[in-house]
Amino acid sequence: MQDYNYVYEGDMEITLELSTIKTPQASQLQGFWEDNVNSLVAYLEYVHKGITGVISSASTGAIIADAEITVQGREGFTVYSDAEFGQYFRILLPGTYQVTAAKSGFSSQTKSVTVTGNNVVTLNFAL
């Protein structure tokens, strides 16, 4: 399921197995948490690596929901802007990328962005 969700849905899904016992005793849960909390937080922090931004209308300034954000050379993995804020997130390793935002009824826009280190770069689009 993880491969399917990553490739076709853009989800970063994991199955976390901490023990060979399917249903451990409640008394063991705190120990599992303490043993793994740092790794879990580091995994969650990955959302802050790559690019983020808001997709809006160039003519009205209104947010654009469900705009497609693609990265040249990374085809097959599209993220979309959300309906509430027009915001998107795309995890990327350090490097320089050509990023395109597109939505039916609007002119698409492509921008170059350089991602460095462990930072998130803000890349807004006005279509």
Residue 31, in any domain of the structure: no
**In the block, residue with structure tokens 């921008």:** 111
Sequence-ordered list of residues with C-beta below 8 angstroms from that of 95, at least 6 positions apart, any chain: 114, 115
Q: Is residue 100 in a domain?
A: yes
Residue 5 domain-assigned (yes or no): no
pLDDT reported for residue 4: 77
Examine residue 43 and state whether it is found in any structural domain, yes or no.
no
Based on the structure, what is the number of domains in the chain?
A: 1
Residue 82 covered by a domain: yes
79 located within any domain: yes
| Residue 1 pLDDT grade (very low, low, confident, very high; cuts 50, 70, 90) | low
Catalytic residue flag (residue 17): yes
> Each residue of 44-95: pLDDT tens digit?
887 778 999 999 999 999 999 999 999 998 877 888 999 999 999 998 889 9
Q: What's the pLDDT tens digit per position in 87-127?
A: 999 988 899 999 999 999 999 999 999 999 878 899 999 99
**How distant, in Å, are the alpha carbons of 36, 43, 46, 80, 119 from that of 15?**
14, 13, 17, 24, 26
Domain span at residue 74 reads 48-126
Q: Which is catalytic among the residues 9, 17, 45, 68?
A: 17
Judge whether 22 lies within some domain: no
Closest-CA residue to 99 (of 119, 79, 82): 79
Tell me, what CATH number does 81's domain have? 2.60.40.1120
Q: Which residues contact 73 (CB under 8 A, 6 or more apart)?
A: 97, 98
- pTM of the predicted model, to two decimals? 0.74
